[in-house]
Copies of this chain bind each other. A is one copy, B any other.
Amino acid sequence: MKINTNDPADLSAQIAKAIRDAIIAGQLIIDERLPSEQELAEQFQVSRPTVREALKRLAAQSLIRTQRGAFGGAFVNRIQYQDAYSQHVTTSTLLLSMNDVSFDVACEARFAMERACAPMACARRTADHLATMRAEIHRQSQPGLSDESWCASDVTFHRAFVDAAGNPVMSYQLAGAVEAMQPLMNMITFTARSREKIIDLHGRIADAVETQSPDTCDQLLDELATYTAELAANVLTARANRDAER
Total interface residues in chain A, CB < 8 Å: 59
Residues of chain A having any CB pair with chain B under 8 Å: 12-13, 16, 20, 23-24, 26, 30, 49, 52-54, 56-63, 78-81, 84, 87-88, 90-99, 101, 105-106, 108-110, 112-113, 115-117, 119-120, 167-170, 172-174, 176-177
Among B26, B60, B168, the residue within 8 A (CB) of A57 is: B60
Within the assembled complex, what's the spacing in Å between the Cα atoms of A147 and B95?
Answer: 35
Q: Could you tell me if B170 and A112 are in contact, using CB atoms closer than 8 angstroms?
A: yes
Q: Do residues B173 and A173 form an inter-chain contact, with CB atoms below 8 A?
A: yes
Minimum-distance CB pairs A-B, first 9 = A57-B60, A116-B116, A109-B169, A60-B60, A109-B170, A112-B116, A53-B56, A84-B95, A56-B56
- State the CA gap A88–B109 with chains docked (Å): 16
Copies in the complex: 2
Whether A24 lies near B90 (C-beta < 8 A) is yes
Q: Is the beta-carbon distance between B172 and A95 smaller than 8 angstroms? A: yes
Contact of A91 among B54, B84, B112, B113 (CB under 8 A): B84
Contacting residues, chain B, for A49 (C-beta < 8 A): 49, 52
Cα distance A56–B58 in the bound complex, in angstroms: 9
Cβ–Cβ contact A90 & B113, under 8 A: no
Residues on B with C-beta less than 8 A from A109 are 167, 169-170, 173
Q: In the complex, which residues of chain B have a beta carbon less than 8 angstroms from the beta carbon of A26?
A: 97
Please report the C-alpha to C-alpha distance between residue A63 and residue B53 in the assembled complex, in whole angstroms.
16
Once the chains bind, are A112 and B120 in contact (CB under 8 Å)?
yes
A158 to chain B, nearest CB (A): 15
